[in-house]
Structure 1
Amino acid sequence: MIAYGGKAVYGAPLGILMLEARFPRIQGDMGNAGTWPFPVLYRVVKGASPERVVLHGAAGLLPSFLEAAAELVSVGAEAITTNCGFLSLFQRELAAHVGVPVATSALMQVPWVQAMLPPGKRVGVVTVSAGSLTPRHLEAAGAPLDMPVVGTEDGVEFFRVLILGEKQDMDVGLAAADVLDAGRRLMARHPEVGAVVLECTNMPPYAAALRAALGVPVFDVYSLVTWLQAGVRPREFGALSVA
């Protein structure tokens, strides 16, 4: 057998562009490496605070994200994703720059999920900040502009810890309550919602509880990234005889 090189890291084909933050990343959070059932590569983008990316449209950060994505590819990443659904704004530029598959946002799942729903049902979104999720973000992700959206801005813990960065500890119970409350408000306002997509990459720890509370399927960045990984590294089912 002959082994071939060409890159620095092997066995971790998925690269994740991380925001620069210090809040807790519990199991299920995208930034907790134990969340993933496969190895991943991380690169923190300097200056990309959650506040700057979410509340200020990631202004001026595109060059830094392009550079960090290229670095991940150079060391071995064969696909790229990001640590914030609001980075759908950079989808086209990142994919063009690195030349490998790129999935910037859980919102990219909206058209797929909508196609699965019965007539009369719609996809709804729970986001960390509904006031910051603009038509530009939705359009870049291929999501309808009139889609029902509810955020966690009015909660007591989730938004304050993740976006405002007021502290480095988090009451997980209160954070979960904020996400569940946003989901319930979404369903109360829009009873036609037949499935939910979680924009925020910090929400997967609460997806199962939200599914139980709302009674509809819930999709998030975990479902997006495991789908992406399944294409980059398809499961092998045994030796094949190829004629």
Structure 2
Amino acid sequence: MTRPVVSGSRVAHGGKAVYGVNLGVLMLDARFPRIPGDMGNGETWPFPVELHIMPNVTPELVVMGNPLDYLPVAIESARQMIARGVSAITTNCGFLALLQPQLAAALDVPVATSSLMQIPSVQATLPPGKRVGVVTVSAATLTPAHFRAVGAPEDTPTCGTENGREFFRVLIRAEKDDLDIDLAEADVVAAARELIEKNPDVGAIVLECTNMPPYAAAVAAATGLPVYDIYTLVTWFVGGIRPRVFPVPQRYLKA
């Protein structure tokens, strides 16, 4: 028997250009490879994301210069994504932590700019006498102001990849378009080892750079410490914006 159709029982409401995409990512303008695990690779994420490139805002300009110079373009780019339908904003450079207060104030959706935002919560998990350390693409330009902007201790120990063979010169100096994955991993692992050698009280590591998640497992294996990065931040962030629905199987219900 055909069920009668009740007019108005299923009405879809519009008003946006894009649906089903909760997260918008402010992307720097770069041409290096973005392998799985990299924030700019769509296959990294277990949910849809929208990637919005900020033209001519390169990693070198942001990491080696002043990220605040690019606040206007970041706000405008974020607003464009929000108008299209995203319900939260993140970025693909940990140095944009410096923009966290301003972006959060300017936008009408939740904002999580940097993996560095995890430092206070990770610190709360550690035993007395231990603290969080950071592996960054550039320790020389990661300042107390970056930490202060996300509520992290200004004296957080850091170690960078500037003296490595591959990671820094490809991502920041843009000396070539191809990436030797093994050399890049070795650079990140070497920085993590140096971090804990110089700071024995480090009990957990946060990877600042959004291109470092492909190497997080190698860092954990090399150091024996918990490792957090932009992937762990964003999956937590979106988990609150789009809570998982847990269907109740029939076997749990009374007949």
Calculate the TM-score normalised by the size of structure 2.
0.92
Query: Which of 23, 31, 44 in structure 1 is aligned with 2:53?
Result: 44
Asked if 1:28 is matched to 2:28, the reply is no
Q: Which amino acid aligns with 2:20?
A: G
2:216 corresponds to: 207
Task: Give the Å deviation of 1:161.
Answer: 0.2
Distance 2:68 2:48 in 1: 31
1:110 corresponds to: 119
Q: Which has the larger radius of gyration?
A: 2
Query: Which of 179, 192, 200 in structure 2 is aligned with 1:191?
Result: 200
Distance 1:94 1:74 in 2: 16
2:7 corresponds to: none
Task: Give the Å deviation of 1:89.
Answer: 1.0
Does the 8 A contact of 1:48 with 1:58 survive in 2? no
Distance 2:21 2:30 in 1: 23
After superposing the two structures, state which structure 1 stretch, 112-121 or 88-97, moved more. 88-97
Task: Give the Å deviation of 1:58.
Answer: 2.0
Deviations 1:70-116 (A, max 9, x none): 00100011000001000011111111222100000000000000011
Distance 1:130 1:38 in 2: 32
Does the 8 A contact of 1:70 with 1:97 survive in 2? no
1:67 corresponds to: 76
Distance 2:66 2:118 in 1: 21
Distance 1:69 1:43 in 2: 8
Distance 1:96 1:5 in 2: 27
Does the 8 A contact of 1:12 with 1:41 survive in 2? yes
Query: Which of 142, 156, 172 in structure 2 is aligned with 1:163?
Result: 172
Q: Which amino acid aligns with 2:99?
A: F
Deviations 1:202-230 (A, max 9, x none): 00000011101100100000000000110
Would you say how many aligned residue pairs link Structure 1 and Structure 2? 241
Residues 239, 99 of structure 1: CA spacing in aligned structure 2 closer, same or farther, 3 A cutoff? farther
Distance 2:96 2:207 in 1: 14
Distance 1:49 1:100 in 2: 25
Q: Which amino acid aligns with 2:104?
A: A
Note the 1:124-163 alignment, pairs <5 A.
124-163=133-172
Any gaps of 5 or more consecutive residues in structure 2?
Answer: 1-9
